[in-house]
Amino acid sequence: MKIDARNIARTLDDAGSWRAIVLHGEDTGLIRERAAQAVRRVAGTTDDPFQVAQLDRETQDRLEEEATALSLIGGRRVVWVKDGQESLAPLFKRVLDADTDALVVLEAPGITARSKLRALAEAHKQVASIACYPEEGRALSQTVTEALAQAGVTIDRDALIWLLGVLGSDRSGVRGEVEKLLLYAGPNGRLDLSSVQDCVGDAGGNSLEDAAFSALCGNRMMADQALERALADGANPVAVARTVLGVLVRLQKVAQAVQDGQGRAEAMKSLKPPVFFKRTAAFSQALDRWPLPALALVARETQAFELACKQSASRDMALCRRHIASLCTVRKA
């Protein structure tokens, strides 16, 4: 059964009412977090070998065996499958057809909308199929503020805006930065813009910004290195497109303000959030290289790149690397 986004929290809280929970989508960190939540809800822990059988890619052929095994100490067992592949569909169907009480929690970040495994999960009334996509905008803001509020920590509005602009899209990365801020602020502390910038610095999603600025400044080698680092950390091509577009929009705003007679330094400071001091040199260098019409042109190309990634998942990585490489050369509008 396909679970609506509004009902995901309730579904995970009631994980014991399902035969299986299949988690899929682009955010591997969110998939892992939700999987662990479901496992703990039923087994009470994630690391008891008698109650939780964890299967990785090399041991997934034991799915049916583990799902039909009886608990040695009583209680309901959980079979937690990590990095589930499309090839699991036949095994998964046999488990659902079998008389077993075990809960199967299946992480399957790589499956597509046409996947047989996903179709099987969405068609079965006792299987919860949950999509896990990167949070952004209001959803990301809510996640951050709620996590801080649980420790009594408050954050200034301008600090939150700046933080949301540099956080990566992967849930595990977001959680890591929030935990760092909690440690920095202390119980019932307060975070202003300066303290957030000092604490987060170049962390979060800044590998993507590194790639964007390096490319726009014409440094192909640094752009490629930053991009590969971001992809290795779990970034996806759509996140790359959105980060690049965000950088281009900010460059366009400053370029337009300068064209209208405002000083560059003043225009950069007037951005919300303001340009991070460690980005100032790269920001100015990009403005020197790219005239306003060329920025508008490459922004349209980036929008087209994002659309192409969504339509051709099999080629999105190649499209991503090619687009970053193309940003090293200034266009003639």
Pair 105, 36: CB distance under 8 Å: no
pLDDT band of 204, cuts 50, 70, 90:
very low
**Residue 333 binned pLDDT confidence (cut-offs 50, 70, 90):** low
Contacts of 330 (CB under 8 A, 6+ apart): 218, 289, 290, 294
Report how far residue 169's alpha carbon sits from residue 41's, in angstroms, rounded to the nearest whole number.
Answer: 26
Please say whether the beta carbons of 302 and 208 come within 8 A.
no
Tell me what pLDDT residue 90 has. 93
Element containing residue 181 per DSSP (H, E): helix 171-185
pLDDT at residue 17 greater than cutoff 90:
yes
| SS3 assignment for 148-162 | HHCCCCEECHHHHHH
Q: Which of 35-49, 162-176, 197-211, 305-319 has the highest mean pLDDT?
A: 35-49
Q: What is the pLDDT of residue 21?
A: 97
Question: Is residue 129's pLDDT more than 90?
Answer: yes
Mean pLDDT of 144-168: 84
**Of 194, 198, 224, which Cα lies nearest the Cα of 210?**
224
Tell me the C-alpha distance between 247 and 129, whole Å: 35
What percent of the chain is modeled with pLDDT above 90? Answer: 50
* Amino acid 168: pLDDT: 63
Q: Is the pLDDT of residue 202 over 60?
A: no
Is the pLDDT score of 205 beyond 60? no
Report the pLDDT value the prediction gives residue 305, as an integer from 0 to 100.
92
And the tokens for 17? 């009412």
Contact 22, 95 (CB under 8 A): no
Return d(Cα 176, Cα 252) in angstroms, integer.
32
Helix (H) or strand (E) holding 24: strand 20-24
Global pTM reads 0.57
Say yes or no to pLDDT of 63 above 70: yes
pLDDT class of 15 with cuts at 50, 70, 90: very high
**Which pLDDT belongs to residue 195?**
84
- Both tokens of 64, joined, read 């049916």
Please give the structure tokens belonging to residue 165: 């602009």
Q: Show Cβ contacts of residue 113 under 8 Å, excluding neighbours closer than 6 positions.
A: none
> Which comes out higher in pLDDT, residue 271 or 96?
96
Q: How far is CA 296 from CA 73, 308, 325, 331, in A?
A: 64, 19, 18, 10
β-strands 52-55, 78-81 pairing: parallel
Instruction: Quote the pLDDT of residue 271.
Output: 84
Confirm if 243 and 207 have CB atoms less than 8 A apart.
no
Q: What is the pLDDT of residue 155?
A: 93
- Beta 20-24 vs 127-131: how paired, if at all? parallel
DSSP symbol at 112: -
Q: Identify the weakest region by mean pLDDT among 103-107, 121-125, 254-258, 304-308.
A: 304-308
Query: pLDDT of 306-322, one tens digit each?
Result: 888 877 666 888 899 99
Percentage of residues of the chain with pLDDT beyond 70: 94
The predicted pLDDT at position 126 comes to: 94
Q: Which residues on neighbouring strands pair with residue 155, listed in sequence order?
A: 191
Provide the 8-state DSSP code for 189.
Answer: -
Whether 165 and 206 have beta carbons less than 8 Å apart is answered as: no
Q: How far apart are CA 273 and CA 280, in angstroms?
A: 13
pLDDT of residue 125: 94
| pLDDT > 90? residue 270 | no
- Are 79 and 103 contacting, i.e. CB atoms less than 8 angstroms apart? yes
pLDDT tens for each residue of 230-264: 887 767 888 888 889 989 999 999 999 999 999 99
Kindly list the strands in the beta sheet with 103-107, ordered across the sheet, starting from the edge strand earlier in the chain.
52-55, 78-81, 103-107, 20-24, 127-131
